[in-house]
């Protein structure tokens, strides 16, 4: 065929498109030269055995793009000015400029982010996804509410009914002092941390994180070039004394159920933290990620509601209470920061889609969320009690479970002679995800043990997994 043009009749690509691409390729590669006459449409039709419309379609397209010119009564030619343009375009190896300097930091921080492994026994931070209330959530989607106004660009700070539903809920269940206009909806808690970092911190500002602590927050701080100050965590939670004289612009804390130790921040420590923040003008970021689950019915209200509400940024998520796939979290910001948070969120692309936000608002408002939590609390408490008892009483492995009777996980200390990193690796190769506590430290770890996420693991699977674990180490 002329200039190696061929047609594949079995391809899903329409014939006229194939011809068009083949001709374009021949011109760009130089197999057809500028000024060269191409076969007439009739000739192409005959040679290729395609319909006249196919050929005319392809030629018209290439005319429109400027590859071909036709002189009436003479013929069709490769556009002569193509020479100047095309000969200059020597194929060269990529010499594009490098990505921004920050990419290197982000690349390094990646290892601290969520491990997107398959659900496996005891993986922390995952609710019981097999008990997801599919029928109720499907109903909550309510396609009858997808009006034109709803389908338009929605509120950049989040779907208003969802912000209202969240405000009503956390005022009652968590004592958070807020109104809906202080709430911004984000695509998950990680996006919320990124937003907080960008709104509050300049390059090289310092932030206190819990030691041991949540790795994803460290990732966001590292990636954005912040200095990180570890704040010591003990059985009463984050201890202000460990960083009292350091200058920091932000402190990140998980008061309800410290991640990963499970410690509950004592009242004394809460007040000390608020005082420290007020004295230093620092912001407190309260991550209340799994506070819905407390098996003692003795739960502290949020730190946010304890202070004057002006120094605490409160973060909540639906990943733990419903499912990570929903990618919905929220930030409650002090009034003084509202304009700043809104400006950044608006320019960076606004809130998640309205379809899922609307479903979640309905799901909260019709009581489904409350019922789901009550049901899950019972399930998780049984799983917690079983895992605690079974792990505490292993014949051949001495584990000390430290269980605060809250959240979706507890920790278990290993005997000194078994190092947690090695134990965790061994467990992983047996298909069980119990991360090593040493992984959650920035400095020298003072805990040697594992994090056990019991919530997503039914008792029979837990039984098997514990049997396997007892043979590790």
Among 102, 371, 378, 471, binds a copy of itself (CB under 8 A): 102
- Cβ-in-10-Å burial (0-12, 13-18, 19+) of 17 comes to middle
Closer CB to a copy of itself, 10 or 444, in the complex: 10
Residues of span 411-440 touching a copy of itself by CB under 8 A: none
Cβ(86)–Cβ(28) under 8 Å? Answer: yes
Query: Which residue, among 410, 459, 451, has the nearest Cα to 432 in the 3D structure?
Result: 451
Tell me the chain's radius of gyration from C-alpha atoms.
30
Regarding 460 and contact with a copy of itself (CB under 8 A), the answer is no
Residues of span 149-178 touching a copy of itself by CB under 8 A: 149-156, 172, 175
Regarding 336 and contact with a copy of itself (CB under 8 A), the answer is yes
Question: How far is it, in rounded angstroms, from Cα 386 to Cα 460?
Answer: 10
Among 69, 323, 394, 459, binds a copy of itself (CB under 8 A): 323
Residues paired with residue 271 on neighbouring β-strands, in sequence order: none
Cα torsion 187, 354, 118, 405 to 10°: value is 70
Regarding 8 and contact with a copy of itself (CB under 8 A), the answer is no
- Reduced to 3 states (helix: H, G, I; strand: E, B; else coil), residue 95 is coil
Closer CB to a copy of itself, 197 or 436, in the complex: 197
- Reduced to 3 states (helix: H, G, I; strand: E, B; else coil), residue 434 is coil
| Residue with the two structure tokens 């982010």 | 113
Expressed in angstroms, the distance from the first to the final Cα of the chain is 69
Stretch in the footprint of a copy of itself (CB under 8 A) among 128-136, 388-396, 422-430, 445-453: 128-136
Provide the pairing of β-strand 283-287 with 250-253. parallel
Regarding 275 and contact with a copy of itself (CB under 8 A), the answer is yes
Regarding 10 and contact with a copy of itself (CB under 8 A), the answer is no
Stretch in the footprint of a copy of itself (CB under 8 A) among 111-119, 237-245, 414-422, 445-453: 111-119
Among 56, 132, 242, 419, binds a copy of itself (CB under 8 A): 132
Regarding 326 and contact with a copy of itself (CB under 8 A), the answer is yes
Among 190, 388, 404, 424, binds a copy of itself (CB under 8 A): 190
Q: What Å distances lie between residue 60 and 18, 53, 54, 406, CA to CA? A: 14, 10, 10, 69
Among 89, 429, 444, 460, binds a copy of itself (CB under 8 A): 89
Total residues at the site for a copy of itself (CB under 8 A)? 124
- Reduced to 3 states (helix: H, G, I; strand: E, B; else coil), residue 285 is strand
- Reduced to 3 states (helix: H, G, I; strand: E, B; else coil), residue 41 is helix
- What is the closest distance, in whole angstroms, from the C-beta atom of residue 394 to a copy of itself in the complex? 28
- Reduced to 3 states (helix: H, G, I; strand: E, B; else coil), residue 208 is strand
CB-side exposure of 372: number of CA atoms within 13 Å?
Answer: 25
Stretch in the footprint of a copy of itself (CB under 8 A) among 38-46, 143-151, 382-390, 407-415: 143-151
Closer CB to a copy of itself, 116 or 429, in the complex: 116
Closer CB to a copy of itself, 22 or 391, in the complex: 22
- What is the closest distance, in whole angstroms, from the C-beta atom of residue 448 to a copy of itself in the complex? 27
Residues of span 42-61 touching a copy of itself by CB under 8 A: 60-61
Residues of span 21-40 touching a copy of itself by CB under 8 A: 21, 28
Question: How far is it, in rounded angstroms, from Cα 297 to Cα 289?
Answer: 17
Regarding 382 and contact with a copy of itself (CB under 8 A), the answer is no
Cβ(39)–Cβ(19) under 8 Å? Answer: no
Q: What Å distances lie between residue 207 and 103, 246, 250, 312, 358, CA to CA? A: 21, 10, 5, 14, 35
Closer CB to a copy of itself, 21 or 382, in the complex: 21
- Reduced to 3 states (helix: H, G, I; strand: E, B; else coil), residue 184 is strand
Among 138, 244, 378, 471, binds a copy of itself (CB under 8 A): 138
Residues of span 197-236 touching a copy of itself by CB under 8 A: 198-202, 205, 219-220, 223
């Amino acid at each position: 065929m002329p200039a190696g043009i061929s047609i594949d009749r079995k391809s899903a690509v329409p014939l006229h498109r194939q011809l068009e691409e083949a001709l374009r390729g021949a011109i760009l590669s130089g197999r057809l030269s500028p000024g060269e006459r191409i076969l007439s449409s009739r000739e192409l039709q005959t040679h290729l055995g395609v319909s006249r419309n196919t050929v005319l379609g392809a030629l018209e397209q290439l005319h429109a793009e400027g590859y071909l010119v036709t002189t009436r009564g003479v013929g069709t030619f490769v556009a002569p000015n193509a020479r100047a343009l095309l000969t200059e375009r020597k194929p060269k190896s990529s010499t594009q400029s490098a990505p921004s300097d920050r990419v290197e930091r982000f690349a390094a921080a990646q290892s601290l982010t969520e491990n997107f492994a398959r659900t496996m026994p005891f993986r922390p931070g995952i609710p019981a996804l097999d008990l997801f209330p599919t029928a109720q959530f499907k109903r909550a989607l309510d396609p009858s509410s997808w009006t034109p106004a709803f389908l338009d660009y929605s509120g950049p700070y989040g779907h208003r009914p969802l912000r209202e539903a969240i405000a009503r809920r956390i005022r009652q269940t968590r004592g958070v002092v807020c109104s809906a206009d202080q709430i911004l909806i984000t695509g998950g808690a990680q996006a919320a941390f990124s937003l907080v970092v960008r709104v509050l911190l300049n390059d090289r500002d310092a932030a206190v994180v819990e030691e041991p602590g949540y790795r994803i927050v460290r990732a966001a701080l590292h990636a954005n070039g912040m200095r990180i100050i570890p704040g010591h965590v003990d059985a009463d939670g984050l201890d202000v004394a460990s960083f009292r004289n350091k200058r920091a612009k932000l402190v990140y804390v998980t008061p309800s159920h410290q991640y990963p130790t499970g410690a509950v921040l004592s009242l004394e420590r809460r007040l000390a933290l608020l005082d420290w923040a007020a004295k230093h003008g620092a912001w407190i970021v309260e991550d209340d990620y799994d506070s819905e689950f407390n098996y003692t019915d003795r739960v502290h209200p949020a730190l946010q509601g304890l202070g004057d509400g002006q120094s605490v940024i409160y973060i909540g998520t639906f990943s733990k209470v419903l499912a990570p796939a929903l990618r919905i979290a929220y930030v409650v910001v002090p009034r003084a920061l509202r304009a700043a948070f809104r400006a950044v969120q608006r320019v960076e692309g606004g809130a998640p889609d309205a379809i899922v936000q609307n479903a979640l608002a309905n799901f909260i408002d019709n009581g489904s969320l409350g019922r789901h939590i009550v049901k899950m609390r019972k399930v998780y408490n049984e799983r917690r009690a079983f895992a605690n008892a079974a792990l505490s009483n292993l014949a051949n492995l001495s584990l000390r479970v430290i269980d605060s009777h809250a959240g979706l996980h507890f920790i278990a200390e290993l005997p000194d002679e078994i190092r947690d990193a090695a134990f965790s690796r061994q467990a992983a190769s047996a298909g069980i995800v119990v991360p090593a506590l040493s992984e959650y430290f920035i400095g020298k770890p003072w805990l040697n043990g594992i994090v056990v996420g019991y919530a997503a693991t039914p008792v029979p699977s837990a039984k098997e997994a514990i049997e396997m674990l007892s043979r590790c180490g």
